[in-house]
Amino acid sequence: MAEQLIGVGFWRNLRQPSLPDPAWFVDQQWSPMEQQKVLAYLAQGRYLHYWMGLSWCRFRCGENNMGACDLTDGTYCWPEGLAHYIIKHHVRLPKEVVQHILSQSEFPFAKAAQALQGLYDTSWWQQQRGWHSADSSFVSGDDGEERNYLRRFDRNQIEFNETTDVTAEAVAARERLVQSLREKYSTGQSSQPRPRPPRLTGSTPSPLR
């Protein structure tokens, strides 16, 4: 039986704020040779899922065509646009993923072919904090999308997944997101990444492209 895939490289967004932020993983000093090996490996991934709509860069660099597919090697599953973050924004994947890739003598095509379509597990990925966990990118493609999210949230017009969106961690992350957006638009902040994520004074407890 094929093992459940481990999701990596899926970034936080308005619907899934508990996912990691790519800004946490920026490493300008990553070995170019190691980086190229990782990129070559990722490029050989088997196409697994095809989604409606293209992904967009969380750094808002202007790249809005980052693919609509997920790829796999039979162990991990990652979005097609992950290579963009590595090439353009110096994102380095966690050491466990890099070591896994470098330990392969060749790409495991046979194992990748056995991978089953379906949900992949992102529980491990959601615990990763990179090396700059105080930094932040964007959770949406533009400010208008964020304002619309706030309006819909206040009117209870957002449908949440009964399995993944109601966990204590997911609810807490959503509360932090809403709080940060309220602060951003109440003070008229410009569209720049926040240097630090917001901190809530309360302790109310509360997949991915």
**What single string gives the DSSP state of each residue in 80-116?**
TTHHHHHHHH-B---HHHHHHHHT-SS--HHHHHHPP
Q: Minimum mean pLDDT among 79-83, 89-93, 124-128, 191-195: which range?
A: 191-195
Give the domain extent around 152. Answer: 143-186
192, part of any domain: no
26 with 101, same domain?
A: yes
pLDDT tens digits for range 27-77: 999 999 999 999 999 999 999 988 888 889 999 999 988 999 999 999 999
Q: What is the pLDDT of residues 99-157, one digit of tens each?
A: 999 999 999 999 999 998 877 899 999 999 999 988 999 999 899 999 999 999 999 99
Q: Do 105 and 172 have their domain in common?
A: no
Do residues 182 and 150 make contact, with C-beta atoms less than 8 angstroms apart? yes
Helix axes 32-43, 95-102, angle to 10 degrees: 70
pTM here? 0.83
> E strands within the chain?
6-7, 46-50, 69-72, 76-79
The pLDDT-based confidence of 163 (bands split at 50, 70, 90) is confident
149, containing H or E segment: helix 143-154
Assign 205 to helix, strand or coil: coil
Query: Is 200 a member of any domain?
Result: no
Structurally, the chain folds into a number of domains equal to 2
Please check whether residues 164 and 107 belong to one and the same domain.
no
Residue 36 within any structural domain of the chain:
yes
Q: Which pLDDT value is given to residue 75?
A: 97
| Encoded tokens for 46 | 């088997």
Helix/strand/coil for 190: coil
pLDDT at 206 over 50: no
Query: What tokens does 207 get?
Result: 């997949």
Question: Which pLDDT band holds residue 2 (cuts at 50, 70, 90)?
Answer: low
Task: Compute the distance between CA of residue 26 and CA of residue 34 in angstroms, rounded to an integer.
Answer: 15
